Structure 1
């Protein structure tokens, strides 16, 4: 016997559309406490949350909630077609994948290719963005999965490690540091550094120095990886980057040399982040399994060996 009725599906869809219990209750002509209790019973029956509830914020769909609401809309449409055969057809299942901007050139394309081959029935949406928009979208339930560094996410998200990267120092080939096989953070503290201007990235790097009682000199904060490489190649300072594209030439044609930083604590995991509660049959759970298999097997050249310039 089915537990959920069409009215239950209407409740979920109304809250999804309006973003608040009060507005949905008014549209449905039910009391807000009755609607809240019904949603709680629906979630208890399903075994996972449909909505994120944060004090002072509007209700937001979890990825599973969005998928449920999409399918509920389809069911309601199908019911309406019994009365109106000309009603519109239902929408396809959707999944949204985010990727941190510095990692996107390495990992996003192979991820999309794998997902479209494995899940042809799912509409895949994707965005590359900075840490804060990525975290905000995940927290608001606007995205299902994210490929990112393990920075800024709270404990409510699950993490699956894809790789673990050591940062590299970038210098022109004539720079004295270019002759080294490896370097430590302590050996870099007095150098004029070129770092990313991405907030969490800068905090992370400065935290690594502070943990050793070091106060680094920051010469520039670059708005992109290629700007960081260009500033470094033109002698504006010593760059530090986790992402290391193949080749030893900056965008403006200047040679570069990369030297790994050997401090163990400086290594940073690349993760596949997702919401902790994912039904095994959901598109997000199936996509998660595909990405783990593909991205762990075909690790991109995020951190190449030392680049030697003849």
Structure 2
């Protein structure tokens, strides 16, 4: 007798797609505690850990988890075909688009509008997460496309450059670095910094300083962009980030100044990525074409 049901497989694939128990629970219309308990039982039955759980970070698939999710997706797709066999109905086409968390508020709403106009009959879903979670989702097939920075992507992932962005230093308006129209890595190496907690993002920032033979002073690493902004506004350190809202006020009402870095090595590309090359005229290829044209002209980022 089989222990795992199709519902169990749906649980695991949904958690992989959303990168969190809360997001998956909402999509599945179940409580988060129930989903957490089910995942623990599934892993105990399999004798394998499917997700890495780290405080303050999205759930990440283990190698065993990626293999399980790929097989689970195939199983669920076959189950759907069997259920609809002999009927006139056809399973709806679907597409999941992923995005790096900091970029998601800027790009996902616009991407959905472009995709609905291009693919009106395709069911759309979104996934946001850190670099490693996005890469795992692309390779596992739980995410068809991803909008992200060109960081950590290996040769198996196809990417189309959309535009380039320059990081900005964030600080109170009366900070000495705010008295100039821009700043540079040398000036930032002299002050405490607040960086992202994301591993690849933090490593990229550190490499920028290393390329200039500088050693930065990192005061804090935080998980969210808005926390980084709020801490910088209150003088806890100078924040450093690529994705910034147009507002010069934080969530808690504090004024915030931002200055671009003039170092050429600080510029980074935003790319549209896909695992391998999509099949010509497929839903994925049509989506990539629409997004590449619609998002490349103007990033909408400050």
Do they fold alike, i.e. is TM over 0.5?
Answer: yes
In the TM superposition, what are the counterparts of 1:217-296 in structure 2 within 5 Å?
217-296=217-296
Shift of 1:235: 0.7
In the TM superposition, what are the counterparts of 1:87-236 in structure 2 within 5 Å?
87=87, 89-236=89-236
Structure 1: 5+ residue runs without aligned partners? 1-15, 18-53, 82-86, 305-310
* Number of aligned residue pairs: 240
Distance between the aligned counterparts of 2:178 and 2:95, measured in 1?
44
* Pair member with larger Rg: 1
| CA RMSD of superposed structures (Å) | 2.6
Shift of 1:142: 1.4
Can you list the C-alpha shifts for 1:194-220, whole angstroms capped at 9, x where unaligned? Answer: 111111110000011112221110111
Shift of 1:110: 0.6
SS in 1 for 2:67: coil
Distance between the aligned counterparts of 1:152 and 1:145, measured in 2?
15
Shift of 1:183: 1.3
Can you list the C-alpha shifts for 1:109-146, whole angstroms capped at 9, x where unaligned? Answer: 01011101210111111111111111110111211100
Distance between the aligned counterparts of 2:275 and 2:185, measured in 1?
35
Distance between the aligned counterparts of 2:66 and 2:118, measured in 1?
36
User: Normalising by structure 2, what TM-score?
Assistant: 0.73
Distance between the aligned counterparts of 2:65 and 2:295, measured in 1?
38
State whether residues 171 and 258 of structure 2, in contact with CA within 8 Å, keep that contact through their aligned partners in structure 1.
yes
Shift of 1:58: 3.3
- Corresponding residue to 1:58 among 67, 72, 77: 67
SS in 2 for 1:270: strand
User: Normalising by structure 1, what TM-score?
Assistant: 0.71
- CA gap of 1:60–1:72, structure 2 versus 1, over 3 A, is same
State whether residues 70 and 93 of structure 1, in contact with CA within 8 Å, keep that contact through their aligned partners in structure 2.
no
Distance between the aligned counterparts of 2:215 and 2:108, measured in 1?
35
Runs of 4+ deviating beyond 4 Å? 54-57, 59-62, 69-74
